Each structure stands twice: as structure tokens, then as C-alpha cells.
Chain A
Amino acid sequence: MKKHPQLLSLFAFIALIIFVVVPFVPLILSSVSFSWRWPDVLPESWSFRAWEYVLNDGRTWQAVGISLWIALIVTAVNILLALPAANALVRYPVRGRWLFEAIIFAPIIIPPFISVMGIHLTFLRLGLTETVLGVVLAHIAPTLPYMFRAVMISYQTLSADWEDQARMLGARALPRFFHVVLPHLLPGILAGASLSVLISLSQYLITFIIGAGQVVTLPILLFPFVSGGDPGIASAYSLLYAAIAIAALVGMDAALKRYYQLNKAPQDLAKGGKP
């Protein structure tokens, strides 16, 4: 009986290594290799040329900052849009609700290229191209569906009774939202936010067309190297990109934990002690 969980965690550990760590190994090797030729298993010698280029370039860090900034605003806007939309679609008998859902989910199915080509001219006329605002607006299309879906599922599992109960205890709309609805939605919001951040971070085409070279995110720097055939620099950028993405996810997770800790402060220990 006692051996069992240990064995399980060992398997989990091995799976983690195989599926998460192993794919990074060639990237790491390729980013520091010098003359790595088939059929050698390991590079002949090492070079930090790629990393020097990536890390010394001031644009890299600027791009990291802008990428995260955009992802953050996009996610914040998504939350503000998804909450009322999901609330309305789940709670009220909206006529033609399938149409609203179809519109919101369409960007997942329609290739972003098509929609972006369409909005590019409009954004040009509105002066939104080459601006962070324009890129943020453009990023909302492919990210909002995921946020919306996550929040909608959370709303579906929140019976209206909870809010009714809070009302009967004298809670007005705002306290109701913060004391009852938000805590319930939070895990869903976090899941949606994680996807939103990751998808925003990974946008190349949309950023490129709307940002028109003036909004330089990490993928904008990375892509020419992938297609231009410099695996060293492409690998180094990819690793940096992965590190940023992981850092963003870990950061959000920590923020959620902190939120729960603030709300459940001293009892957490007592709770952890129970089976």
C-alpha cells in the first residue's frame, strides 16, 4: 500500500521528464552548438554566439516587455468582456444565443489571417495600426473565445441560488459579485487568463500585420530566424520565449495561491492536516 504512491510519483516524474524536459534538450544543444553535424549525437564544440546575439540585443528585452505588456492588457480586457457576456448568455434567456456564441467562437475556427486582412484596412483608416492599442484589439479576437469559454463553464456551474442567497443576506450587486461570484469564477478565469496570455504571446501574423513592424514582440524577432534557417538563434529565442511563457504562468498561479491564502489565512494548515 505504501509503495504505491511512490511508484506513481516516480511514473509522473518520468513522464514529466519525457514530455516536458526532453523536447527542450535539442533546443538547448542547438542554441549552444558549434559545428553540430550528422551523425554526431552531440555537437563537436560549443559556442555562445546565438545567446550572445539574443541576450545582448537591446531589442530582445524591449520585445519581452512589450510582449508581456500586450498579453497582460489583452487578458485584462478579455476578463472584462467575458464576465458580462458569459453572465448574460448563461443566466438570461437570450434570443438567438447560438448566434452570439457563434460570433464569439468564430475566431477559433476562422483562420486569423483572413480576419486580420479584413480589419487591417479599417485599422489603417482609424490610425490603429502600428500602435499597441491596435495590436491589443487585434489579439482579442483569437484569445477571447478561450477566456469566454472558461468563464462560461464557471458560470454554468454557479447556481443562481448562490446569488439569491447573498441577496437575501442583504448583499447588493457589487458585494454579491466580489463575495460570491468572483471566488467561484476565479479558477475558470485563471484558466482562461493562462490561455489568453499564452495565445497573445504566440501571435506572430496578427501582431506583424497590425503592428506593422512598429510593435515588436518576441515572435516578430523570432520568426525571421526560423524561416531564415539559423537554428542556433531560433533555438535561443524559442527557449527565451518558453521561459517567459512559463514565468507568466507560474506568476499567475502564484497570484491565485496568494489570493486564496489571504482569504483562508490561518486555517489552511488545519485543513491540510485533514485527509
Chain B
Amino acid sequence: MSDLRIIDIEKRYQAVQPKNDASFMLRPVRLSIREGEFFSLLGPSGCGKTTLLKLVAGLLQADGGEIWVGGENLTNVPPESRRFAMVFQQSLLFPHKTIEDNVAFGLKMQKVGKKQRLKAARDMLEQVGLAGFGNRFPDELSGGQQQRVALARALVANPRVLLMDEPFSALDPGLRKEMRELLSRIQKDFRVTVLFVTHDRDEAFALSDRIAVMGDGQLRQVGSARDLYERPETTAVASFLGLRNILSGVLKNSRFASSDGTIETDVTKQLTDGAYFMVIRPEAIKAAEGNQLGHVSVSGIVQELKYGRGMYSLKVNAGNQLLECVVTTTQAEKTAVGEPINLLVDMEEVWFLKE
């Protein structure tokens, strides 16, 4: 068992400030990442995810807490001795060294013989699809190729943990997808533990076993992609994950009434009375007339109609509430901006958040 355990790691701002809570760059974080797991830190820029990554790497000095791998306390071990590897947003290939020498650099630092390390480097280059590029220099490679080399260089010395700081964000979208697939495959082949930082929800969802959503210097929620999306614990997590249909209201005697009066419906879930947010995923809404069992009907005016990848996304003004939903092309063709529309919300798919 070589799990990566992050125990109450914290980081404060360096600036001298009166002692108050606002001085935290990162509030104490506790996380346990299993060996071979692909774990992402997801959040908007400035949320502290890169800080956490660098704390794990040892490139930043923590103001408290510990880092363990298996039974080994690495808190006071300098980064060069942690046997972690890191891939940055830029490939950071050493420009005066060949691709081969770049990849072999980590082994060279471990004093592995020249022949052996060059062979390992070549094998690794083959893994990332760059066989035969070994004798070139970094500036002769495209951006995507360079990032592949960076990945090869990080993996060649068999790191205990691979840290990645938005490694694909500088690439164009097509290339990004290709790189994700490559990374996914290699991660499984090498069974390496990955701690991956990104602000891109789709990227995190596509790659990760588990995701930690971060905001304002703290962990908001940890879980699988589906957990997070279908059962967000706060409105902040929900809205960061793209869930816009959030209606505040009051639940009383198994009946929920939104405060603006748009929706009033029975709730079958076992919930105590109180103030709630009702989170409706766009997929839980369909455009249809009449009424259906387990659904609640909402009528409104179409405000926006946008085509995207085989489906239309629709914004409907219902009372004071703007609801987003997804409809098929045929359904979309029946309506237009400014026309009234009737929506059905599947109450099975609705998620209630206690305020």
C-alpha cells in the first residue's frame, strides 16, 4: 500500500497581515489518494489547486500538516528526493539537450549508467509515440510532441506520484483530446498514481477516478464525476459544474415551493422540513405538453435557442427563473424565441440541497 496521504496541509499568505482567516492561501486539506488512482483537483483559477499541488511536490513550504506516501513521512523531504515527478503547463524541456537526454535526465540524476538510461529513454519515447525523435532538439518539435516528451521524461524514473499542473491547457482542443487518451492509456499501463490539476470540467470528468472540487482555498467536495454532478453538496459546486437551474425555496410537509412561485410540487424523498435549493440538471427537463407521473409541469417563454452537437440547448424564462434544458432537433423546430413552451421536470432526477 503506497497511498498518498495529505494530512491537514495548509498554506498562508506570506504578507504580514493581522491574524484573520483571510490570510489563508490554502486552508487545511485532508486527502487520501490510493495507489494507482487518477485524482484531479478541479476549480477556477486562484482556488488554491496549484498551491496544493506544489505543496505536495515540496516546491512550496507548508505552514502546517504532513505528506505521507505509504508508511513514509515526506513532509520534510526536499522535492528532489521525494521520487515524485511533475509535468507543468509548459513542457520545460531543456533546450540545449537532445530529446533523449531530456528524457534520461531523471535517471542521470539517479546516477544510472549512460547506456541503460538512454535505452530506458528510447523505450519511453516509443510509449508516447515518439520513437526516432531522440536525437532532435526540443525546438524542432511541435507543442504536442514537446508535451509528450515531458510526459515521457516524468515517467521514465518510475515516480511514486505523477503531479500534473494543467499540462494540456496550452494545446489546441483537438490535440488536447488526443493527449488525454494517451495519458489515460499510459496511466493504466504504468499504474502510476496521478494528481492532476485542471480548471476544465470535461477534462477532469474524462480522466479521473475521483475529483476534488476546490474553491476559495479549500476543498469543497470529493467524489467521482457522477457523484459530484448528480449530488453536489453546495450550490457553489453545482454552479461550477455547470448546473444553473437552482431554485431556492421551502420544503414543508413533503411539499416544495420555490420562493418565486415558479414551481410547487410534492416531494417523495425523505427530507426534513426547511429551506432548500432545488437543483435540476438540464437533462432532467424535457419539452412536452400535458402532464406525466412523477413530473412537474412548468410553462415559460423561450428566450434563447442554441444549436450544439446534435441537440439544442434552450433557455426558458419561467416566472422569475431562467431554466436551461436540452431538447432534440425536432422539438426545437416546433418552437422559436419568444414563443410559450411547456416543460416537464423529472422529479426523480431532481436534487435537493439544504440551505
Hey, which bits of chain A sit against chain B, CB under 8 A? Answer: 93, 161-162, 164-172, 175, 179-180, 183, 260, 263-264, 266-267, 270-271, 274
Contacts and interface: CB of A to CB of B under 8 A. Distances in A.
A142 B88 CA distance: 41
B107 to A, nearest CB: 9
Nearest to A186: B96
B94 A179 contact: yes
Given A169-B85, A180-B94, A264 B137 contact: yes
A170 B96 contact: no
Instruction: Say whether chain B's binding surface is mostly helix, strand, loop, or mixed.
Output: loop
B137 A170 contact: no
A161 B96 contact: no
Contact of B92 (A162, A171, A266): A162
Interface stretch (B62-70, B76-84, B292-300): B76-84
Interface residues of B toward A: which range? 20 to 34
Given A167-B79, A169-B109, A170-B81, A267 B98 contact: yes
A175 B136 CA distance: 23
26 contacts: A93-B14, A161-B92, A162-B92, A164-B57, A164-B79, A164-B88, A167-B80, A168-B80, A168-B86, A169-B85, A169-B106, A169-B109, A169-B153, A169-B154, A170-B80, A170-B81, A170-B109, A170-B110, A171-B109, A172-B80, A172-B109, A179-B105, A183-B95, A263-B96, A271-B137, A271-B140
B259 to A, nearest CB: 49
Contacts of B94: 162, 166, 179-180, 183
Contacts of B163: 168
Contacts of B57: 164, 168
A104 B248 CA distance: 64
Given A167-B59, A169-B157, A180-B94, A267 B109 contact: no
A165 B92 contact: yes
Contacts of A260: 96
A180 B96 CA distance: 9
Interface string B130-166: 0000011100100000000000011001000001000
A8 B79 CA distance: 52
Given A169-B153, A183-B94, 13 more contacts: A164-B88, A165-B86, A168-B163, A169-B109, A169-B154, A170-B83, A171-B109, A179-B94, A179-B97, A179-B105, A183-B96, A271-B137, A274-B140
B106 to A, nearest CB: 4
Nearest to A264: B96
B90 interface: yes
A267 B136 CA distance: 7
A164 B89 CA distance: 13
Contacts of B157: 169-170
Contacts of A264: 96, 137
B109 A175 contact: yes
A171 B157 CA distance: 12
Given A183-B94, A264-B96, A168 B84 contact: yes
A264 B98 CA distance: 8
A107 B83 CA distance: 47
Nearest to B78: A167
Contacts of A167: 59, 78-80
Contacts of A168: 57, 59, 79-80, 84-86, 154, 163
A26 to B, nearest CB: 44
Given A170-B106, A170-B157, A179-B105, A165 B98 contact: no
B42 to A, nearest CB: 22
B88 A161 contact: yes
Interface string B108-141: 0110000000000000000000000001110010
B105 A169 contact: yes
A141 B197 CA distance: 48
Contacts of A179: 94, 97, 105
Contacts of A271: 137, 140
B260 to A, nearest CB: 49
